[in-house]
Structure 1
């Protein structure tokens, strides 16, 4: 009886996964059928797009992880800029957010500024960084980091403020030091909100990465590939870049969710 229950648990766990992938498969099949029925050059079938993307970026030798030279010149620079901006935003946002959230006075003073900065559309800030830093990688990384900072900062501050006061009183009775309270009480309490902010910042980083590469002065990256393919009316490459962005977003978010579950468990993840 117990063995049958243990065997049925993986089957029950696999049902939601199969349902999610079946919806995606149905969407792709519907797209394929509609594109072939319409026969428009502006609306190619997904299988044709996938073959073009494979030949363009993922048909390289095994020693290069199947990446072609075009993939190295297109995907890696974009991921490097995005990673640099996201890491800067995450480190600064968590540190500043925890500091602001643990002080009532600091939170009261900074909250209007935080809410104002969070409400500004991130792409609107890119021209400001162009004026300050000119075109190039520093401008791109700075615009990604600045725009992705605010969700992490605000959520970290809210998470730090939500620490149970009773636990803090117990920590005071036990004479825990400030760093010990931060490590054992504040950070574990704030982690669900911190990861919620990190997921928002990850999406913003991907958006800002592409947007910054659409500007003049960029010679590589996915955004540059989009602009270049559009000027050459290479619609298959345009669609391939869009599909690549969707896959990258899904993989990055899945990886961040795996880290979140590893640190705080599936029951407490937001």
Structure 2
């Protein structure tokens, strides 16, 4: 019963928005805004098995590689910067400068060093996704309970044992918040990176549809991007619930007692 209620809450607003779009666009004669009925009808004709393997799968793999790379770099650097005050004082001005540079602006620069292949696209995705992970990791590490830190120190728990048993578990809710933001940014950068010197991918295909005035086909790509983002968000939340089961259980217990 609880699962059914959660499913209704998750799907209620999307279903309502689709219904409004369907009714509002029905009978539209605008070339650039075709009825949703038309978009749905051409969807299976556009996104055949060949397109799924040739365009969708490469995009998802690039996205996954970029987010994983950003997670590794962000968590590693964020742990070091958050753990040492002097390192944080030295790195903070540089981090603020680099964070202010929009990742799409770096695409031409990255192309000079990484070429126009998959490496460039993965680096572009990682360059934007690393910041929410890095900054949330820094804040999570800094927020480790001082009493628990002193207790660990008094018992001689230092180094890797302290990192694995105290720092990373305490910072993990913040880290996952950064990873969730990184996933949303990664989808945007995935599309942008595939608009530059690409031969496949969702971004490339949508631009090709637009240039050839295949407007309903272009809308199917946009719809597919939305569905992809929704599915990835649901999968991420499911993984987060499993990894942070202890945290959510503790928070629910705290709410219940209050």
TM-score normalised by length of structure 1: 0.86
Q: CA deviation at 1:20?
A: 4.0
**8 Å contact kept, 1:78–1:221:** yes
Matches of 1:261 and 1:202, distance apart in 2: 16
Distance 1:96 1:253 in 2: 25
1:257 alignment counterpart: 237
Which residue in 1 is equivalent to 2:256?
none
Return the alpha-carbon distance in structure 2 between the equivalents of residues 141 and 16 of structure 1. 35
RMSD: 1.8
Deviation at 1:100, TM superposition (A): 1.0
Residue 155 of structure 2 corresponds to residue 174 of structure 1: yes
Which structure 2 segments of 5+ residues have no match? Answer: 253-258
Q: Work out whether 1:38 is the aligned partner of 2:39.
A: no
Number of aligned residue pairs: give it.
Answer: 249
Choose 29-38 or 101-110, whichever is displaced more.
Answer: 29-38
- In the alignment, the residues of structure 2 paired with residue 175 and residue 215 of structure 1 have an alpha-carbon distance, to the nearest angstrom, of 53
| Alpha-carbon distance, 1:19 to partner | 4.0
Structure 1 segment 195-210 matched on structure 2, within 5 A: 195-210=176-191
Match of 1:238 among 218, 222, 232: 218
Q: Which residue of 2 aligns with 1:7?
A: none
Distance 2:210 2:27 in 1: 24
* Local SS of the residue matching 2:200: coil
Partner Cα separation in structure 1 for residue 10 and residue 152 of structure 2: 44
Partner of 1:49: 39
Contact kept, 8 Å, 2:26 with 2:36, in 1: the verdict is no
Residue 133 of structure 1 deviates from its aligned partner by 2.4
Please give the TM-score of this superposition, normalised by the length of structure 2: 0.90
| Distance (Å, rounded) in 2 between the aligned partners of 1:87 and 1:22 | 32
Cα separation, 2, equivalents of 1:19 and 1:43: 29
The equivalent residue for 1:224 is 204
Asked if the contact 2:99–2:131 (Cα under 8 Å) also holds between the matched residues in 1, the reply is: yes
Deviation at 1:22, TM superposition (A): 2.5
Match of 2:14 among 8, 24, 27: 24
Q: Deviations over 1:49-75 (max 9, x none)?
A: 2332223325xxxxxxxxx11211110
**Corresponding position: 1:148 with 2:138:** no
